[in-house]
Structure 1
């Protein structure tokens, strides 16, 4: 699914991370193809990642989170770039999702029903996930648990579909050539995404 309005969310807390470089490469590809791109770097915005009261009591959204919701509404396609830590996303990305993927924004529970309305329908997503665990090991032993959570339990639950995953691993002992190869691939992904 190609798009013209693309939002990249860099979920790495380190502003000098490889995930930041991947995010910028994707954005460069989108720009080269004439698409509109916006970026949210979670290392640069300010918010409390703790949904303190759950859904029992409203926690007011900080200005950066209100802006993030506007950008998600605007986008046709979401690109979420993050590392796998302990089998899933970093705490700052999970907190970001907890705080803004709220009832009334991402989904709406129906009265007297086990069903819900998916409020982010019409959007697609690409996950670009780095890991120190080799892909085959992650698939066979861990069954891609972190990918499944983000793809199914969060994005598809909210109506975002299709959701594709690009797994870049192993990173820890990777060479500069390996990293550059992926930066180039991710730029081409951004170029191809624009319709």
Structure 2
């Protein structure tokens, strides 16, 4: 399988990086082809420029590469921290520039963009791994878990990826090495279940 793996965390020593590299190792060991992007390391430009908005515009080669990879992916894995109930800005910019009409979704003929899009992504499954310092009870009671809505309802469901899995690891600031090792075991298990060995 062809898997897109997207990481958005600026600290190379973060647990997000440990998650992403664990995912990379598991996928390669299972015989999958992995398109891995560390957005901060690559200095991905998150700004959506006006001339890039039209559906049939000529895209910057880097954006065209990302679009091609996501359109052809059999599976997608996203790794990022929970910052103010949202992905980091660099990842939001990646969504703005890559999850675009004609690539990830389209509108029905005669629909000028006011209707419900039809998903175009061929990925059979998506996994989102998050880290946070907010207790689960507070997250759900006060904030309503906005990351679940963003990734499942607003992005993957609308783009045709109906098998969705998400795992939030918390609380990072008080976690020890034993706890983090157990979390990485969970990462491995989730990936193997969603993307079995070739």
TM-score (norm. length: structure 1): 0.87
Contact 2:105 2:159 in 1 (8 A): yes
Distance 1:36 1:48, change over 3 A: closer
Q: Which runs of 5+ in 2 are unaligned?
A: none
Structure 2 CA distance, aligned partners of 1:47 and 1:21? 20
SS of 1:172's equivalent in the other structure is helix
- Map 1:15-26; keep pairs closer than 5 Å: 15-26=12-23
Structure 2 CA distance, aligned partners of 1:55 and 1:65? 12
Task: Say whether residues 1:190 and 2:188 are aligned partners.
Answer: no
The count of aligned residue pairs is: 192
Deviation at 1:80, TM superposition (A): 0.5
Give the equivalent residue in structure 1 for 2:130: 129
Structure 2 CA distance, aligned partners of 1:57 and 1:187? 37
Structure 2 CA distance, aligned partners of 1:45 and 1:184? 27
Distance 1:57 1:191, change over 3 A: closer
Contact 1:69 1:100 in 2 (8 A): yes
Give the equivalent residue in structure 1 for 2:144: 143
Distance 1:55 1:74, change over 3 A: closer
Structure 2 counterpart of 1:45, from 42, 45, 51:
42
TM-score (norm. length: structure 2): 0.86
Contact 2:45 2:90 in 1 (8 A): no
Structure scoring higher RCO (CA < 8 A, sep ≥ 6) equals 1
Contact 1:29 1:189 in 2 (8 A): no
Task: Say whether residues 1:34 and 2:22 are aligned partners.
Answer: no
Give the equivalent residue in structure 2 for 1:91: 89
Task: Say whether residues 1:70 and 2:68 are aligned partners.
Answer: yes
Runs in 1 of length 4+ with deviation above 4 angstroms? 56-60
Q: What per-residue deviation string (whole Å, max 9, x for no partner) do you get for residues 33-84 of structure 1? A: 2333221111122442111327369875433322222221232110101100
Contact 2:81 2:87 in 1 (8 A): yes
Distance 1:174 1:34, change over 3 A: same
Name whichever of 48-57 and 173-182 sits farther off: 48-57
Contact 2:72 2:122 in 1 (8 A): no
Contact 1:79 1:125 in 2 (8 A): yes
Structure 2 CA distance, aligned partners of 1:86 and 1:156? 23
Give the equivalent residue in structure 2 for 1:116: 117
Q: Which runs of 5+ in 1 are unaligned?
A: none
